Structure 1
Amino acid sequence: MDLSNGPEPCIVCGDAATGYHYRCMTCEGCKGFFRRTIQKNLQYHCKWNRKCVIDKTTRNQCQECRFHKCLQVGMATDLVLNERQRTAKRKLIEENRERRKEEQSKVKSRDLSVEMDALTDNDRGLICEVVTAYEYTSGKPQNSNNKGEYEGVSAEIQTQDPESWQQLAEAMTPSIVKVVEFAKGVPGFTELNVDDQILLLKSCCMEIMCLRAACRFDPENETLTLHNGVKLRKSQIHQGGVAVLIEPIFDFAMGLSKLKLDKAEIALLAAILLMQSDRSGLKEPENVEKLQDAILGAFKRYITENRPHQPVHWAKILMKVTDLRTISTRHAERVLCIRLDNSGEIPPLLLEVFNEGHTVS
């Protein structure tokens, strides 16, 4: 229809047409009249020998002449639907309407999903701070002064005397300090309740140290480099004493190496270990949960953006959190058993790390 000069006239009565109905440009009145006549098979009779003039003022005065003019101008009776056809048409229209709604809903969901999966400026800022804190406090293993890289290590690892535990404590001290420094660099940590900060550090310290040790694992040679630069092979570790603490880290390290995490993923994994709102004894767990959610959200969006073809990568990383917490729990249980059997043998620092002390400073 060309409406630039106003509505076109109905070809039957001259009233304003609303479109093509049954092949002719007609108004709503003539369209409805024609449809009802066909559907109900109505019969009309003209009192004036079928010579009535039909326009918008006289169209209701003679139905026979009006219907005759509808046919005369070309309105098609075969296009008028019967009851069965009307029902089928209404059903089809409704199905199409529902399908369009579903398609629009899917498009909106995809758009929303893409928007939610996109890294925000806040995400990028948080990730940058976490990575900076982790790299600044990671340090590099010291070079071992031993002429034989593996010589004499197995004897130290398998012994159970107090001196061995003291050596382990001294070797771990720099790592513990680095974990504390890392935590202070994670956005929001220092704003938490002080007691909660201590509890979180105490709970995650061994987990993060295990993670850092695992990141120094060489899968090709199957060696683990300690903080002091000494390299160990799993075959050198024998059951008993300090060995029970190191052996699980080898198994975890081999699994972690297969994920090929980049530096941001490792740093964010450490931050997740720090911010665990389900740690028993937290005074303000809701504040920890807020920081945890922010890190988890940024981490997931980072993976979505950088690993679009690895949909299960995120789930695998979360499994590593569970693995590290399990290792830490088993460590604590083993240290407790050793402590009960050998009173006074384990240094206080190790008892603190393995949740047997009171503070981590």
Structure 2
Amino acid sequence: MHDTTTTAAETSAETRSKSNVSYDCSHVLDNNSLSALHHDDDEDQVHRTANQVAASFSKQKLKQEALKKFVPGEACVVCGDAASGIHYSVSSCNGCKTFFRRVLIENRTYSCKGDGNCPIDKDMRCSCRHCRFKKCLQVGMDGTELNIERRRKRKIVDTPKSETSINEIQDDVVRDLVLKERKCLKLLTSTLAPIHASIDEALSDPISTFDHFEQYERHQLAPEDQMNFSYWRAKILSTVIEWAKSFPEFQLQKLSRRDRESLIVHSSFSNLVLSEAFHTPERFTDRIVFPDGLSGFRNLTANILKERSGLIPTVVAVINNILVPIRKMRMTEVEYVLLQAIIFFDRECISLSDECIKIVHAKRKQLLDSLRRHLDSLYPKNESAHRFAALLLRISNVHKVAAFKRETLCTIETFNLMSPHPLTMEISKKYPDVSFF
């Protein structure tokens, strides 16, 4: 059985003597890059990294490959099985086509326990995924076609859920929240929208990015931009803070600087995990998907990158305890935005001043009234009451998952397993000082 290793995607050329031959599958290599492979008899393992990407193929070669015609009866150049057509510029079977695509799309990395030269044929192709991917590269499989698929997937990811028409919303509170949500989605994918280094920095400017939305909206991530989990945690938390600053109640002079910080520390991780679940495209119930297509899977074997490994339990917790339940109940956009605001304006934060508690309590009551009126307008009385209760009961699980995520991040940093973003860690570490669970 061949183990997987977890390495970050690299584009720089380097050769290291280690025990396993590792492949960075986030880039496709040409045949010249294969010369970087070597075997050191003095070491049990060999580390292999890419030194060129698929862009090194000339345009002329790509055109020639695109014009290649499939001849029925040809063998798969990877494993020798019957080829089903020209896939990624070579004759290949459906199995090898799917394998190659999955490795690249999911940024998988494998290692070989042998010398990196396992036989790959029809019978042995599944025995070593490292050597199978190596063979795919050797025979000329070209992943540039995946750029088209990535753009298409990006469009699918960016396609919003069934959105409520703003003009149909009668409740001013709900309309304001839905408008904030539309801005939030654009700010998440804006390359100009800030990722704050600290809570202090975030609160130093009382004006929210939501108030100058247009200047950020114009600068969006390109389809080929690929971020990591640390980036998205910090980006979502930063956007949650800007979202909070856009509420008039949050900017009242009666609220002290301490009150504002306490509200952010108390609730923002709950807002984070609910956002991760709700914004995952509807067709997925086994993974969390971020705006650039980056995914964290419930299937442990799919989470093979080093950055994912330590946080796999938190991904599973978000999926099982938040994503799956809200999918079963078919949570709507209006319900989601109201629930996010109800979660944020929580008087149970023990470090709030008396004046702040009054303001937060009044705001939450307003939000609860809006949720109840919204449900009453859509459902019979008994059904409305049942759904109202079901939505509020989700909050407990959201808080539990948020607490688990904070604790996991603190543990990971303590043992130096990875380096989460400073803002993420500041919020995690300050939580015990301002609240409890």
In structure 2, the residue matched to 1:320 is: 394
Contact 2:174 2:338 (C-alpha < 8 Å) held by counterparts: yes
For residues 204 and 255 of structure 1, the distance between their equivalents in structure 2, rounded to whole angstroms, comes to 20
For residues 208 and 314 of structure 1, the distance between their equivalents in structure 2, rounded to whole angstroms, comes to 19
CA gap 1:347/1:217 in 2 versus in 1, 3 angstroms? closer
Q: Does 1:227 pair with 2:291?
A: yes
Match of 1:203, as an amino acid?
Answer: H
Q: Does 1:341 pair with 2:415?
A: yes
Find the residue that maps to 1:214 and give its secondary structure. helix
For residues 330 and 215 of structure 1, the distance between their equivalents in structure 2, rounded to whole angstroms, comes to 18
Q: CA deviation at 1:317?
A: 0.5
Contact 1:137 1:182 (C-alpha < 8 Å) held by counterparts: yes
Which residue among 293, 296, 314 is the counterpart of 2:368?
296
Which residue among 193, 204, 219 is the counterpart of 2:256?
193
CA gap 1:185/1:289 in 2 versus in 1, 3 angstroms? same
Q: CA deviation at 1:209?
A: 1.7
Q: Percentage identity across aligned positions?
A: 15
Residue pairs, 1:135-146, within 5 angstroms: 135-139=182-186, 145=224
Q: Does 1:204 pair with 2:267?
A: yes
Q: CA deviation at 1:175?
A: 1.4
- Structure with bigger gyration radius: 1
Q: Note the alpha carbon deviations across 1:142-198, whole angstroms, 9 max, x for none.
A: 56538xx9xxxxxxxxxxxxxxxx953323232122212221233422223332122
Q: Does 1:243 pair with 2:312?
A: yes
Which residue among 327, 335, 346 is the counterpart of 1:276?
346
Q: Note the alpha carbon deviations across 1:41-78, whole angstroms, 9 max, x for none.
A: xxxxxxxxxxxxxxxxxxxxxxxxxxxxxxxxxxxxxx
Contact 2:274 2:398 (C-alpha < 8 Å) held by counterparts: yes
Aligned residues: 220
Q: Note the alpha carbon deviations across 1:73-101, whole angstroms, 9 max, x for none.
A: xxxxxxxxxxxxxxxxxxxxxxxxxxxxx
CA gap 1:185/1:291 in 2 versus in 1, 3 angstroms? same
Which residue among 170, 174, 178 is the counterpart of 1:127?
174
Contact 1:276 1:292 (C-alpha < 8 Å) held by counterparts: yes
Contact 2:296 2:312 (C-alpha < 8 Å) held by counterparts: no
Which residue among 228, 231, 236 is the counterpart of 1:170?
231
Q: Note the alpha carbon deviations across 1:289-325, whole angstroms, 9 max, x for none.
A: 1111111122122112222344311111111111111
Contact 1:265 1:299 (C-alpha < 8 Å) held by counterparts: yes
CA gap 1:202/1:348 in 2 versus in 1, 3 angstroms? same
Contact 1:130 1:185 (C-alpha < 8 Å) held by counterparts: no
For residues 251 and 289 of structure 2, the distance between their equivalents in structure 1, rounded to whole angstroms, comes to 31
Contact 2:277 2:323 (C-alpha < 8 Å) held by counterparts: yes
Aligned residues: CA RMSD: 3.1
Match of 2:182, as an amino acid?
Answer: E
CA gap 1:125/1:345 in 2 versus in 1, 3 angstroms? closer
Contact 2:347 2:361 (C-alpha < 8 Å) held by counterparts: yes
Q: Note the alpha carbon deviations across 1:239-264, whole angstroms, 9 max, x for none.
A: 95122332211111011112222221
Contact 1:204 1:273 (C-alpha < 8 Å) held by counterparts: yes
Match of 1:237, as an amino acid?
Answer: N
Find the residue that maps to 2:385 and give its secondary structure. coil
In structure 1, the residue matched to 2:43 is: none
Extract unaligned runs of 5+ from structure 2.
1-169, 190-220
For residues 310 and 189 of structure 1, the distance between their equivalents in structure 2, rounded to whole angstroms, comes to 30
TM-score calculated relative to the size of structure 1 = 0.54
CA gap 1:228/1:280 in 2 versus in 1, 3 angstroms? farther
Find the residue that maps to 1:353 and give its secondary structure. helix
Contact 2:410 2:429 (C-alpha < 8 Å) held by counterparts: no
Contact 2:297 2:315 (C-alpha < 8 Å) held by counterparts: no
CA gap 1:233/1:339 in 2 versus in 1, 3 angstroms? closer
Range that drifts further, 320-329 or 240-249: 240-249
Range that drifts further, 314-323 or 228-237: 228-237
For residues 137 and 347 of structure 1, the distance between their equivalents in structure 2, rounded to whole angstroms, comes to 20
In structure 2, the residue matched to 1:37 is: none
TM-score calculated relative to the size of structure 2 = 0.45
CA gap 1:144/1:250 in 2 versus in 1, 3 angstroms? farther
Range that drifts further, 231-240 or 254-263: 231-240
Q: CA deviation at 1:337?
A: 2.8
Range that drifts further, 201-210 or 346-355: 346-355
For residues 408 and 418 of structure 2, the distance between their equivalents in structure 1, rounded to whole angstroms, comes to 15
Q: CA deviation at 1:267?
A: 0.7
Extract unaligned runs of 5+ from structure 1.
1-122, 150-165
Residue pairs, 1:77-96, within 5 angstroms: none
Q: CA deviation at 1:234?
A: 1.8
Match of 1:174, as an amino acid?
Answer: K
In structure 2, the residue matched to 1:88 is: none
Residue pairs, 1:10-159, within 5 angstroms: 124-139=171-186, 145=224
For residues 234 and 407 of structure 2, the distance between their equivalents in structure 1, rounded to whole angstroms, comes to 21
Match of 1:183, as an amino acid?
Answer: A
Q: CA deviation at 1:276?
A: 0.5
Specify which structure has the bigger relative contact order, considering alpha-carbon pairs within 8 angstroms and separated by 6 or more residues: 1
